[in-house]
Amino acid sequence: MNSKLDKLSINVIRFLSADMVQKAASGHPGAPMGAAAMTYALWQKHLKHNPADPSWCDRDRFVLSAGHASALLYSLLYLTGYDLSIDDLQSFRQWGSKTPGHPEHGLTPGVEATTGPLGQGFGNGVGMAIAEKWLAARFNKPGYSIVDHYTYVICSDGDLMEGVASESASLAGALGLGKLIYLYDDNKITIEGDTANYFNEDVGARFRAYGWHVIGPIDGMDPEAVDTALTEARSDTTRPKLIICRTIIGYGSPTRAGTGAAHGEPLGDAELSAAKECLGCSHLEPFQIPAEVHASMSARAIGEARQLEWQRLMNRYTAAFPVEAAQFQDFLAGNLPQGWNDGLENMFKPSEKPLATREASGKIINLIGKRIENLLGGSADLAPSTKTVMEFESLFGASNSTARNLQFGVREHAMGAVLNGLALHGGIIPYGATFLVFYDYMRPSVRLAAIQELNVVYVFTHDSIGLGEDGPTHQPVEHLAGLRSVPNLVTIRPADAAETAFAWEMALERQDGPTALVLTRQKLPIFDRTEMGAATLTRRGGYILWQADDNPKIILIATGSEVHFALAAAKIIQGEGIASRVVSLPSWEVFEAQPQAYRDQVLPPEIWRRVSVEAGRSLGWERYVGCRGVIIGLDRFGASAPGNVLFEQFGFTSQHIAKAARTLIGEIDG
């Protein structure tokens, strides 16, 4: 791999990347110039992929966790034959471009994950490897390895400093993910310069302690050394691998190589020309690719041959195991089995005892989990509290790869990133659970799931001051507002067990983004909705739960456990001659997606007297109560006391709501 053509190809990758940054007048040239040799070795000698079909299910996954080096990835994609043109490269970081500043899954062919926030791609790779291991254990038969691929990740010094990477690495080692190989671009430079003052740990020792097979340090500038290391890594299928590659950031740049100055800004015309001359490439004009490099790096022919070989194997598998083959294809297509939601609508009866929505969710998981056999999930060490264990299933682990209960440990952020990796891989419907207050620990991963439109389900329990004695550190106050602020994230806070069933149904039927289910610790009565015929209206995000007569004078709007207080208040003022309507609004996002006529039917504009009730920040409720309505919320932190005491002390009672309603109506509060 040290032939003249190899060296020229590596330099073309370097300078094509640097040319992109230079033309855009922004970007990161240093990492692509330093990591070109090791990525060339991986892509030329080891990566199994087909540029003609980026979605081939048995391809190796390649994740650039160091997403700021996006120009490197675009160069590789273009040179190996993906659907990118030279014009796309010249439009790097521009409006409408297929080559944005950081890789975006779903926008650029061949990009496996949206990366850039450091450490996220590291966690995504762990999720992808779990998916491969589970699908292989589930479907492979002797002589029929239809699932047999690796997950490769390029990570940087910055990635390894982030806590999410440490959490994910620890989990990967415990799970023995032997098809997971990371190339660590160890250039010892970040934006602030040399890392000696703030990142001088023994990374190899840390990863060995995690249970990883560590190779190196090796010379990451030598493609032959990287090739040898990758061959060694592939020979061990029992542990994840970290190959420590010593590289030089901005390699070739006469004055910036090995310095922070090479990291995040264009080299400049003079420096870039000097770098080309330094590496013997002064003949290369901007965006020039020699024909021999194009010919040698194109992976289309070998990729198509590999996929054809796999397809022949798949055809034989289908003939031998038709039931398994059909299920495999359904998993990959994201199809839900027929009848998966039978009985959900009537699963919980008003005559039953009060039930916490977290408990209802647990019952639902154990019903649909038997029907949806690729539903995988678990909790960040809170399964007994979040009720997210499939009781008929065992625990996924290093020696139990077919199980579907995942244990993430006390690692919320890793859980979020791993869930994204599971969804990105395909074939898996992932869910993850923790207390709502700990959503803060995983928010970056949730945000990326929303950006990528991933079908991930989050189960956030202990949703308010109602959790009680654990106090303000564990009582979410601002978190509902935070969830609702994330574009493309649907948040559902059901009022009882019946709404919880519909919430799960909505979450699993969604195909364009993640869903957060926000559930109670405390038990709640199950409403009798037969009077209003409102049962299925939960699916519309907001609906009329109850009203006194056909001419309500005031509307009480609430979510979750507070709907019960609102209904009780409505019946109090009904006895005083005040006709009201109670609206349950479990999901703002779903409600806002309904036709205006339906929204006006539920919340008629002419009824301006409105009271909203939610045990969280009042921020945002103005859209539903207007400037003259009353918002009953919680704009302070909670306290340590039993939940029922806290609701009373903070004004979440039927009497307090009734008083607010009287005030709006103009009645005198006796």
Instruction: State the catalytic residues.
Output: 412
Q: State both tokens at 457.
A: 């389900």
- The verdict on whether residue 117 carries a ligand-binding annotation is yes
- The verdict on whether residue 635 carries a ligand-binding annotation is no
Contact call for residues 523 and 500 (beta carbons, < 8 A): no
Contact call for residues 446 and 393 (beta carbons, < 8 A): no
User: In the block, which residue shows the tokens 């070998």?
Assistant: 302
- The verdict on whether residue 525 carries a ligand-binding annotation is no
- The verdict on whether residue 118 carries a ligand-binding annotation is yes
Cis omega (within 30 of 0) for bond into 217: yes
- The verdict on whether residue 49 carries a ligand-binding annotation is no
What's the CA gap between 634 and 559, in Å, rounded? 14
What's the CA gap between 133 and 350, in Å, rounded? 43
- The verdict on whether residue 3 carries a ligand-binding annotation is no
Report the C-alpha dihedral over residues 356, 358, 364, 366, rounded to 10 degrees. Answer: -120
CA-wise closest residue to 383 among 309, 328, 461? 461
What do you get for the CA distance between the two ends of the chain, in Å? 89
- The verdict on whether residue 263 carries a ligand-binding annotation is yes
CA-wise closest residue to 328 among 142, 126, 136, 124? 136
Transcribe 220-285 into DSSP letters. Answer: TT-HHHHHHHHHHHHH--SS-EEEEEE--TTTT-TTTTTSGGGTSS---HHHHHHHHHHTT-TTPP
User: In the block, which residue shows the tokens 């995504």?
Assistant: 124
What's the CA gap between 136 and 234, in Å, rounded? 17
Residue 209 host element (H or E): helix 203-210
Length of the chain equals 670
Transcribe 6-74 into DSSP letters. Answer: HHHHHHHHHHHHHHHHHHHT-S--HHHHHHHHHHHHHHHHT----TT-TT-TTSPEEEESSGGGHHHHH
What's the CA gap between 137 and 403, in Å, rounded? 9
CA-wise closest residue to 124 among 168, 167, 163, 68? 168
* Burial status of residue 358 (CB atoms within 10 A of its CB: 0-12, 13-18, 19 or more): buried
- The verdict on whether residue 384 carries a ligand-binding annotation is no
Residue type, 380: A
Supply angle C-alpha 570, 517, 465, rounded to 5.
60
- The verdict on whether residue 187 carries a ligand-binding annotation is yes
CA-wise closest residue to 302 among 610, 47, 567? 47
Numbered residues of the known binding site: 28, 68, 116-118, 157-158, 187, 189, 263, 358, 385, 438, 462, 470, 474, 521
Numbered residues of the known binding site for substrate: 28, 263, 358, 385, 462, 470, 474, 521
Numbered residues of the known binding site for thiamine diphosphate: 68, 116-118, 158, 187, 263, 438
Numbered residues of the known binding site for Mg(2+): 157, 187, 189
